[in-house]
Amino acid sequence: MDMTFTGRDLQVTDEIRETAERKLSPLGRLEPRAMALDVELIGEHHPTIDGVKRVEAALRIPRKTFRAHAEADDVPTAIDRVRDKLERQVRDHHGKKRPPKKPRGIESARGSAPAEE
């Protein structure tokens, strides 16, 4: 799974990158078809001394994209919250598995008719 990190008004350091990779890599085990994970780190300009850190993430699998965002005073806490939200979305998606389709058409009608003697 490819991880892409983008920083807006916030420097993406090696420490932040390693923390995010360690905390978000279990999502790849939950969803083996995951192709990419885009993580965006944003330094918000709220009227606090240090500002609020916002993390947005998009987990891409074929035919589906899971998105989550979270805000916190520090980046690791925001990453934890994003991971929890993405994990819940992936687990809910796995719970929606459809039952196998029933056979249709003339072939299924012949198979289910009672045999005549």
Q: Which of 8-22, 53-67, 91-105 has the lowest mean pLDDT?
A: 91-105
User: pTM of the full predicted structure?
Assistant: 0.76
| Residue at token pair 């008719």 | 113
Residue 113 is predicted with a pLDDT of 55
Calculate mean pLDDT across residues 66-93.
Answer: 93
The C-alpha angle with vertex 45 and arms to 5 and 73, in degrees rounded to 5, equals 65
Q: Residue 19 — pLDDT band, cuts 50, 70, 90? A: very high
Strand 64-72 to strand 36-43: parallel, antiparallel, or no bridges (unpaired)? unpaired
Three-class secondary structure assignment of 24-88: HCHHHHHCCCCCEEEEEEEECCCCCCCCCEEEEEEEEECCEEEEEEEEECCHHHHHHHHHHHHHH
Q: Which helix (H) or strand (E) holds 2?
A: strand 2-8
Query: What domains can be seen in the chain, in order of their start residue?
Result: 2-97 (3.30.160.100)
Q: In angstroms, rounded to a whole number, what is the distance separating the alpha carbons of residues 84 and 62?
A: 21
- The pLDDT of residue 116 is 59
Given a cut of 90, whether residue 101 has pLDDT beyond it is: no
The confidence score (pLDDT) of residue 13 equals 92
For residue 44, the model assigns a pLDDT of 79
Mean pLDDT of the chain: 86
Of residues 62 and 102, which shows the higher confidence score? 62
* pLDDT band (50, 70, 90) for residue 36: very high
